[in-house]
Protein backbone atom coordinates (compact mmCIF):
# COMPACT_ATOMS: atom_id res chain seq x y z
CA UNK A 1 0.00 0.00 0.00
CA UNK A 2 1.09 3.58 -0.65
CA UNK A 3 2.21 5.25 2.58
CA UNK A 4 1.27 8.86 3.18
CA UNK A 5 3.34 10.81 5.70
CA UNK A 6 2.23 14.20 7.01
CA UNK A 7 4.31 16.82 8.79
CA UNK A 8 4.42 18.51 11.15
CA UNK A 9 2.34 16.79 13.75
CA UNK A 10 1.09 18.56 15.72
CA UNK A 11 1.33 22.14 14.56
CA UNK A 12 0.99 25.08 16.97
CA UNK A 13 -0.11 28.38 15.48
CA UNK A 14 -1.92 31.61 16.23
CA UNK A 15 -4.91 33.27 14.62
CA UNK A 16 -3.73 35.12 11.52
CA UNK A 17 -0.71 32.90 10.93
CA UNK A 18 0.10 31.41 7.56
CA UNK A 19 0.15 27.63 8.01
CA UNK A 20 1.58 24.96 5.74
CA UNK A 21 1.02 21.22 6.13
CA UNK A 22 3.06 18.78 4.07
CA UNK A 23 2.07 15.33 2.82
CA UNK A 24 4.60 12.99 1.23
CA UNK A 25 3.69 9.83 -0.69
CA UNK A 26 5.88 6.74 -0.74
CA UNK A 27 5.64 6.67 -4.55
CA UNK A 28 4.56 8.92 -7.41
CA UNK A 29 0.79 9.52 -7.20
CA UNK A 30 0.52 12.21 -9.93
CA UNK A 31 -1.93 14.72 -8.47
CA UNK A 32 -4.36 12.13 -7.08
CA UNK A 33 -4.65 13.66 -3.63
CA UNK A 34 -7.31 15.24 -1.47
CA UNK A 35 -7.32 17.16 1.79
CA UNK A 36 -9.92 16.79 4.53
CA UNK A 37 -10.56 18.71 7.73
CA UNK A 38 -11.97 17.04 10.82
CA UNK A 39 -13.18 18.77 13.95
CA UNK A 40 -13.53 16.74 17.17
CA UNK A 41 -16.55 14.46 17.17
CA UNK A 42 -17.47 15.38 13.60
CA UNK A 43 -17.26 13.76 10.20
CA UNK A 44 -14.42 14.81 7.90
CA UNK A 45 -15.05 17.67 5.52
CA UNK A 46 -13.67 17.89 1.99
CA UNK A 47 -11.40 20.87 1.36
CA UNK A 48 -9.41 20.14 -1.79
CA UNK A 49 -9.28 17.42 -4.44
CA UNK A 50 -6.99 16.65 -7.39
CA UNK A 51 -4.27 18.27 -5.25
CA UNK A 52 -5.31 21.86 -5.95
CA UNK A 53 -9.04 22.16 -6.72
CA UNK A 54 -10.92 23.95 -3.96
CA UNK A 55 -14.27 22.36 -3.10
CA UNK A 56 -17.23 24.70 -3.51
CA UNK A 57 -18.03 26.65 -0.35
CA UNK A 58 -14.56 26.23 1.16
CA UNK A 59 -12.95 29.58 2.04
CA UNK A 60 -10.29 30.81 -0.38
CA UNK A 61 -7.71 31.02 2.42
CA UNK A 62 -7.27 27.26 1.86
CA UNK A 63 -5.10 26.18 -1.05
CA UNK A 64 -3.36 23.03 -2.17
CA UNK A 65 -0.38 22.33 -4.39
CA UNK A 66 2.02 19.63 -5.44
CA UNK A 67 2.35 16.61 -7.66
CA UNK A 68 4.33 13.40 -7.74
CA UNK A 69 5.28 12.66 -4.13
CA UNK A 70 5.16 16.04 -2.35
CA UNK A 71 2.04 18.03 -1.56
CA UNK A 72 1.12 20.98 0.63
CA UNK A 73 -2.02 22.41 2.17
CA UNK A 74 -1.75 26.10 3.00
CA UNK A 75 -4.04 28.22 5.13
CA UNK A 76 -3.15 31.81 4.34
CA UNK A 77 -4.53 33.38 7.52
CA UNK A 78 -5.60 30.97 10.25
CA UNK A 79 -9.06 31.57 11.66
CA UNK A 80 -10.46 30.28 14.99
CA UNK A 81 -12.64 27.73 13.20
CA UNK A 82 -9.58 26.26 11.45
CA UNK A 83 -8.20 24.66 14.60
CA UNK A 84 -8.82 21.02 13.67
CA UNK A 85 -7.06 17.94 12.33
CA UNK A 86 -6.18 17.75 8.64
CA UNK A 87 -5.72 14.58 6.60
CA UNK A 88 -4.38 13.96 3.12
CA UNK A 89 -5.76 11.03 1.12
CA UNK A 90 -4.25 9.45 -2.00
CA UNK A 91 -6.67 8.09 -4.60
CA UNK A 92 -4.04 6.93 -7.10
CA UNK A 93 -4.13 3.27 -6.12
CA UNK A 94 -6.13 0.82 -4.05
CA UNK A 95 -6.28 0.63 -1.16
CA UNK A 96 -6.76 4.35 -0.69
CA UNK A 97 -4.60 5.58 2.18
CA UNK A 98 -4.77 8.58 4.49
CA UNK A 99 -1.91 10.40 6.12
CA UNK A 100 -1.74 10.09 9.90
CA UNK A 101 -3.25 13.55 10.35
CA UNK A 102 -1.92 16.96 11.40
CA UNK A 103 -3.58 18.55 14.41
CA UNK A 104 -3.50 22.34 14.23
CA UNK A 105 -3.45 23.61 17.81
CA UNK A 106 -3.68 27.05 19.35
CA UNK A 107 -0.26 28.39 20.33
Partner 1 sequence: EVQLVESGGGLVQPGGSLRLSCTASGFSLNTYWMTWVRQAPGKGLEWVANIKGDGSKISYVDSVEGRFTISRDNAKNSLYLQMNSLSAEDTAVYFCARDKNYCNSPVCYDVFDIWGQGAMVTVSS
Q: Does 38 bind partner 1 (CB under 8 A)?
A: yes
Q: Does 97 bind partner 1 (CB under 8 A)?
A: yes
Q: Does 32 bind partner 1 (CB under 8 A)?
A: yes
What is the Rg, in whole angstroms, of the alpha carbon atoms belonging to the chain?
13
Q: Tell me, rounded to whole angstroms, the distance of Cα 38 from its chain centroid.
A: 10
Q: Does 15 bind partner 1 (CB under 8 A)?
A: no
Cis-peptide, bond into residue 95, ω within 30° of zero: yes
Handedness of CA 8, 10, 44, 19 (dihedral sign): negative
Q: Tell me, rounded to whole angstroms, the distance of Cα 106 from its chain centroid.
A: 17
- Which residues lie across from 22 on neighbouring strands? 7, 72
* Residues within window 52-81 making contact with partner 1, judged by CB under 8 A: 53, 55
Q: Which stretch binds partner 1 (CB under 8 A): 14-22, 34-42, 63-71, 72-80?
A: 34-42
Query: Which lies closer to partner 1 via its Cβ, residue 15 or residue 53?
Result: 53
Q: How far is the CB of 38 from partner 1 (least distance, A)?
A: 7
Residue in 25, 44, 21, 23 with CA at minimum distance from that of residue 103: 21
Q: Does 83 bind partner 1 (CB under 8 A)?
A: no
Which residues of the chain form contacts with partner 1 (CB under 8 A)?
1, 30, 32, 34, 36, 38, 43-46, 49-50, 53, 55, 87, 89, 91, 94-101
Amino acid sequence: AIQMTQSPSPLSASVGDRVTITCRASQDIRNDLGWYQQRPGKAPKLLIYAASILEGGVPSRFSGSGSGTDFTLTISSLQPEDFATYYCLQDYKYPRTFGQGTKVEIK
